[in-house]
Amino acid sequence: MPDTVTIPVYENFIGGVWAGEPEHMPAINPATSETLGALPRSSRETAGKAVKAARAAQASWAARPVWERAAMCVAIAAEIDARHEHIARVVSQEQGKPLAQAIAEVRKAADGFRLAAELVKHMRGEVIPVQDPRKLALTLRQPRGVYAVITPWNFPVNIPVEYLAPGIATGNAIIWVPAPSTSLCAVALTQAIEAAGLPAGVINLVIGEGATVGDEIVAHPDVNGIGFTGSAATGKRIAERGAGKPMLLELGGNGPVLVFEDADLDKAATAAANGAFINAGQICAATGRLLVHRKVADAFAARLVEKAKAIQLGDPLHQGTTMGPLNNANVAAKVREHVEDAVAAGATLLTGGRPRPDLGSNLFFEPTVITGVTRSMRVFREETFGPVLPIVTFETEAEALDLALDSEYGLSVGVFTADLERGMRLAEAIPAGIVNINAGSTYWELQLPFGGGSGTKSGLGRLGGKLTLEAMTEIKMITIDRG
Ligand code: NAD
């Protein structure tokens, strides 16, 4: 008999039951190209079944007292904490981030459920004074109903929790479509949620191609709201397919980080490097463009090169690794193309710039610092989503502002200056969702508003803290005639 290698076969979670699909797609370890398992490549029909299961579960879940739903979120947080090492290992293996970063992500996910549990107890309606003496007018906050949640692969546990926790807390039922390349992470998180005892059908996990199962749930007439985090291109498609439904769209960024000559350069360099290299730069709020005053540019670039060179690129599960591979071939191709385009147009590579297939797969890419970047280069204009720090110099505040504004995106910005008045001037002038003064573009906490500036390609709406709970609920206006 020939030796056969069996790989685990994974399933969807629909209506409280794990069930397989006839079609499969592989789960791949980006550091080794090894196949980790066979994932369901679900059909539209399966996605439709998940909508049905969510619909069937939603009303009774919404009818549970708020305190009970909050307690369930606390129980889920405890399950995530109890198995955080397992979930983090899956994240490291399948997404590619170093284990320490994966553990931090999973711990934050547990915090996300605890935060939703606290906040939901403070949601309240109001009694509104009216002219008619016979009437009493009051508002209730009610869940929207059945939610489509579609998430990317860069933070495969944290980003889903940004929707799942407030969604569960407020009494919605959810169909979750994770990114195909981090579906095992989704299975691990769903197992924790199941173990906490969430009633069947409140969370339904459907694994498959976004253009099939994601599209089906977004456009489905029985889905009442959409939470989407991903690229601007997919966000646009979802906005069209889900037209008329309330939606949160958390899309891409090309975050400028501005460094003035009076800034604390050590602090700024640490933040800019972290913003470009943590998670191998695959962060929507990454240091996409580094704008530095000409006077300090050389000294600043030298600090960044030093930090880039100190990074240990390698297998994310190996001790000492501080940067793993990129997650998939599409993002790796884009990163290579952006660097090649910049170099061909005259930019200078100070360090990095090359793929490192010798480390285990074609997805390893060196931490890269590039100077002499100009506005026409792709690395300036587009979201690179990789470990690349493009440096552009400026002479005046007006020029820095003009460079910062020269982008279709408007997500997250960092401004380093000792002059807080200047910091505030810029913060008010740049149409991004979040501006951090004397911190990098990636600084954010779960209870702070986060989202794209209006009219930019970075998205629609704000999540964070009570804002997500508000977005996932609607106001019911009730009047009573007292006779
Ligand atoms: P993507 O848009 O390719 O995919 C995101 C999700 O959408 C995946 O689950 C995918 O399967 C699904 N999808 C794809 N086509 C679909 C369709 N037609 N209908 C419905 N669903 C569909 O994005 P990605 O490559 O997974 O993630 C990277 C992007 O996400 C970057 O642009 C990044 O900036 C952005 N992002 C934004 C934030 C934020 O909070 N603003 C956070 C993280 C990532």
Marked catalytic residue, from 94, 105, 216, 250: 250
Q: What's the domain count of the chain?
A: 2
Mean local confidence (pLDDT), 339-366: 98
Its sign, for the CA torsion 85, 311, 300, 391, is negative
Distance 264 CA to ligand 1 centre (A): 35
**What mean pLDDT, rounded, does the chain reach?**
97
Cα-Cα end-to-end distance for the chain: 85
Q: Let me know if residue 472 belongs to a domain.
A: yes
The mean pLDDT of 307-312, rounded to a whole number, is 98
User: For residue 137, what are the contacts with CB-CB under 8 A and spacing of at least 6?
Assistant: 127, 128, 129, 130, 477, 478, 479, 480
Residue with tokens 């935060």: 115
Nearest atom in ligand 1 to 232's CA: 32
The pTM score is 0.97
Distance, CA of 66 to CA of 61 (rounded, Å): 10
Residues 130 and 268 in one domain: no
Please give the distance, rounded to the nearest whole angstrom, from the Cα atom of residue 154 to the centre of ligand 1. 9
Residues 125 and 146 reside in one and the same domain:
yes
Question: What pLDDT does residue 3 have?
Answer: 54
**Do 370 and 283 fall into the same domain?**
yes
Do the Cβ atoms of 256 and 289 come closer than 8 Å? yes
Residue 413, domain CATH: 3.40.309.10
What CATH number is attached to the domain comprising 203? 3.40.605.10
Is 216 a pocket residue for ligand 1 (Cβ < 6 Å)?
A: no
Same-domain check for residues 346 and 388: yes
* Same domain membership, residue 384 and residue 284: yes
Question: Which ligand 1 atom is at minimum distance from the Cα of 218?
Answer: 20
Report the pLDDT value the prediction gives residue 1, as an integer from 0 to 100. Answer: 45
Domain limits at 33? 12-251+462-477
What is the model's pLDDT at position 6?
A: 87
Residues 73 and 159 in one domain: yes
Q: Are residues 290 and 266 in the same domain?
A: yes
> Does the beta carbon of 229 sit less than 6 angstroms from any atom of ligand 1?
yes
418 in a domain, yes or no?
A: yes
323 and 274 fall within a common domain:
yes
Strand, coil or helix: 393 = strand
Q: Is the CB of 234 under 6 A from ligand 1?
A: yes
- Asked whether residue 2 carries a pLDDT value surpassing 80, the answer given is no
Residue 2 lies in a domain: no
Are 233 and 358 members of one domain?
A: no
Identify whether 25 is part of a domain: yes
With a 6 A CB cut-off, is 253 part of the ligand 1 pocket?
yes
DSSP code of residue 409: -
SS3 417: coil
Nearest CA to ligand 1 atom 40: 250
- In this predicted structure, the answer to whether residue 4 has a pLDDT above a threshold of 80 is no
Q: Is the shortest distance between the CB of 21 and ligand 1 below 6 Å?
A: no
Same domain, 317 and 245: no
> Is residue 5 pLDDT above 70, yes or no?
no
The tens digit of pLDDT for each residue in 469-481 reads 999 999 999 999 9
Q: Is the CB of 250 under 6 A from ligand 1?
A: yes
Of residues 145, 156, 166, 171, the one with CA closest to residue 68: 171
What pLDDT does 474 receive? 98
Using a 6 Å cutoff on CB, does residue 251 contact ligand 1? Answer: yes
Return the best residue to mutate from 150, 184, 408, 442 for the ligand 1 pocket (most ligand atoms within 8 A of CB): 150
Mean pLDDT for 316-323 is 97
Using the CB atoms, write b or e for 249-267: b if 16+ within 10 Å: bbbbbbbbbbbbeebebee
Of 21, 105, 284, 383, the active-site residue reads 284
Pair 74, 91 in one domain: yes
Same domain (yes/no): 193, 58: yes
Asked if the structure places residue 4 within a domain, the reply is no
Per the domain annotation, does 456 fall within a domain?
no
Q: What is the pLDDT of residues 243-256, one digit of tens each?
A: 999 999 999 999 99
- pLDDT at position 14 is 98
| Residue 395: inside a domain | yes
Q: What is the mean pLDDT of residues 284-294?
A: 98
Mean pLDDT of 94-116: 98
Would 132 be classed as within a structural domain?
yes
| Distance in angstroms (rounded) separating the CA atoms of residues 169 and 73 | 7
Query: What is the secondary structure of 235-254 as a DSSP string?
Result: HHHHHHHTTTS-EEEE----
Closest CA to 254 of 227, 290, 228, 279: 290
